[in-house]
Amino acid sequence: MIRTPIIRVDPRLPDEAVLERAASILRGGGLVVFPTETVYGLGANALDAAAVARIFQAKGRPQNNPLIVHVTDATDSSRVVSHWPKSAQLLAAKFWPGPLTLVLPKHPNLPAIVTAGAPTVALRVPAHEIARRLIQLAGTPIAAPSANRSSELSPTTAEHVLAGLDGRVDLILDAGPAQVGLESTVLDLTTSPPRLLRPGQITPAQLEAIIGAIVRRDFNQAVPDAPLPSPGRLAKHYAPRTSMECLDGNENACRVEELLQQGLRVGWITLKPAFDAARSNLVVRPMPIEPAAYAAQLYAALHELDGLALDRIVVDLPPDTDEWLAVRDRIMRASAQD
């Protein structure tokens, strides 16, 4: 296997020669992993069907799961989107660049493989400086799912990317840990009223303040309502390999104790660490009680515990409120049975 080069880039002072090398790989039909503010993305030229096919191959992604197209700003999307509703203009003005993906009518010239044959396309303008400069230099919209193997955890560091995709991509740009840490909010604007497909840092209330009522399904149910226009909504997704369970309420220390009594090795991602003394067979990861800080650390905590060959990961569910919606959604998906 040919190992993938990783190049460190400083977002405050990006090395143009490195970014130009990455952009030329993209123009030539290759795959480049790049940082975004949410998670690392696995990019290819969205207008090149063969290049996009390589994304699906590298990830082992089912061909029926459409990709997000990344552009530098709304005006740069004329080759991707055929029509801009007023709601999209308002949301773009408010939240772009940033962690919001809008599903819009697809341009006929955009290859069908990008949208899995759908007449709609998911579009996002990332805020990360490296992502923005890379797309600009490539001179083309960039299709990019999260840079992980299909159904595994999204990567928030270049090390996470390498663990899943070494040898399967042409270049990895490493700009350190992602700041948001969870994938973007996905909102479908082709339905009326618009429909939230994936919760993220930008909350339903923030969206509704701009465009009025949207449909939110109950993201606190691990099993989604049918039918599924967005395979990312499947219950089992973004999961570690270690068997995982999540618990509401304050009794989780008892559950952890019970598992330890059974002789299991347990990792506990918790808002309320309860054991004073170190316990053998227990690894405790205390988490921030503030939603944004928690979100930024969740995948790193899961990746880390997943690497320890534990028998079980237990996660405390944060409160059932709007500001925790995305975090709870990801925890429940990661804990869902197949």
Residues shown for the chain: 338
Site string for ligand TXA, 259-298 (x = CB under 6 A): ----------------------------------------
State the Cα–Cα distance between residues 238 and 219, nearest whole angstrom: 15
Contact in structure between 264 and 248 (CB atoms under 8 Å)? no
Q: Cβ of residue 114: shortest distance to ligand TXA, in angstroms?
A: 8
Q: Which of 119, 138, 121 is nearest to 81 (CA)?
A: 121
Per CB under 6 A, which of residues 48..77 are in contact with ligand TXA? 65-68
Among 41, 98, 141, 164, binds ligand TXA (CB under 6 A): 41
Nearby residues of 318 by Cβ (< 8 Å), 6 or more positions away = 271, 291, 294, 324, 327, 328
In three-state secondary structure terms, 275 is coil
Q: Is 204 in the site for ligand TXA (CB under 6 A)?
A: no
Q: Is 146 in the site for Mg ion (CB under 5 A)?
A: yes
For residue 171, the cross-strand partners are 32
Closest residue to Mg ion, based on beta-carbon distance: 146
**What are the phi and psi torsion angles at 196 (to 5°)?**
-75, 120
State the Cα–Cα distance between residues 90 and 92, nearest whole angstrom: 6
Q: Is 201 in the site for ligand TXA (CB under 6 A)?
A: no
Per CB under 6 A, which of residues 142..161 are in contact with ligand TXA? 144-146
Among 72, 151, 179, 184, binds ligand TXA (CB under 6 A): 184
Using DSSP bridges, classify how beta strands 142-143 and 41-45 pair: parallel, antiparallel or unpaired. antiparallel
Q: Is 329 in the site for ligand TXA (CB under 6 A)?
A: no
Q: Is 164 in the site for ligand TXA (CB under 6 A)?
A: no
**DSSP label of 335:** H
Alpha helices in 153-309 (DSSP H): 158-165, 204-211, 252-261, 291-306
- What's the alpha-carbon Rg for the chain, to the nearest Å? 20
Q: Which of 139, 105, 135 is nearest to 123 (CA)?
A: 105
Q: Cβ of residue 232: shortest distance to ligand TXA, in angstroms?
A: 2
State the Cα–Cα distance between residues 334 and 242, nearest whole angstrom: 10
39 binds, among ligand TXA, Mg ion, none (CB under 5 to 8 A by kind): ligand TXA
State the Cα–Cα distance between residues 195 and 225, nearest whole angstrom: 13
Q: Cβ of residue 102: shortest distance to Mg ion, in angstroms?
A: 17
Q: Which stretch binds ligand TXA (CB under 6 A): 90-98, 164-172, 180-188, 242-250?
A: 180-188
Q: Is 229 in the site for ligand TXA (CB under 6 A)?
A: yes
Q: Is 88 in the site for ligand TXA (CB under 6 A)?
A: no
Between 146 and 335, name the residue whose CB sits nearer to Mg ion: 146
Q: Letter for the amino acid at 110?
A: L
Q: Is 4 in the site for ligand TXA (CB under 6 A)?
A: no
Q: Cβ of residue 123: shortest distance to ligand TXA, in angstroms?
A: 9
Encoding tokens for residue 140? 């083309």
41 binds, among Mg ion, ligand TXA, none (CB under 5 to 8 A by kind): ligand TXA
Query: Which stretches of the chain bind Mg ion, using CB under 5 A?
Result: 146
Query: Which stretches of the chain bind ligand TXA, using CB under 6 A?
Result: 36, 38-39, 41, 65-68, 99, 101, 103, 115, 118, 120-122, 124, 126, 144-146, 183-184, 186, 197-198, 229-232
